[in-house]
Amino acid sequence: MNERIKGKTVAITGASGGLGMEIARQAAKSGANLILMARSFDKLEKLRDELIANYSIKASIYGLDVSKRGDIEDTFSKIEHEVGQIDVFVNNAGFGVFDSVLEMDLDEAEGMIETNVLGLITCTKLVLPGMVSRRSGHIINIASQAGKMATPKSSVYSATKHAVLGFTNSLRMEMHGKGVYVTSVNPGPIRTNFFNIADKEGTYIKNIDRLMIDPVKLAGRIVDAMMTGKREINAPGWMNAGSKIYGLFPRTFETLGRSQFNKK
């Protein structure tokens, strides 16, 4: 339970499944009111009804494709008029496709950039002025360990998450003294349907299944950090340690880890 968010409004993109859905459940358990956004409106309806029934909180839902700037602008305009202020905003929507540069589909690459980077930036840009004017708020960006340590077949996905981390770190400095917290979440592989799209052949899941992160536990850490000055949430610990070693000794790390990295 996080008493700091009781009665506050938490907005989440990509809330119809996976990590976003678990964040919504645990935020509702802490007494937060919710704004849930995703492309799958029918799934949002079921989640909204579940959360209202179980926790007696307020929950609003909006169909949203964060790859489309116009949709984001229209949705945020509706939220401002229909719900009001957002206290915590979780940029969770995103997807990845694992392919080598030689084999990648440029339309998929463009979609990843529009969703993972430009969509996240647009959402943040629209929600931030209200937080700054109130001198209170929290932006939480779901990045990835892939934003710290690139591996084969994830060139574009990794590039988008490097961009998210760069954006988040810069924003955190800009918000210093303005009352707005900024946190990046850098998970390794999470046990969600993310890999239904990312891992077309299913080989990556088979190779790392026992190492995958429980989304319920990660969501708990994220909700516990809401409205605090937590800089980063990294999971799992051993992978975050690996990314630090990679930053210090990239050539050695790439050479020694090549056989494992190519198991996607």
Catalytically active residues, by annotation? 157
184 phi/psi in degrees, rounded to 5: -105, 145
How far apart CA 183 and CA 181 sit, in angstroms, is: 7
238 CB burial (10 A radius; 0-12, 13-18, 19+):
exposed
176 phi/psi in degrees, rounded to 5: -60, 130
HSE-CB for 76 with a 13 A CA cutoff: 22
How far apart CA 80 and CA 127 sit, in angstroms, is: 9
- Tokens 């009781």 sit at which residue? 6
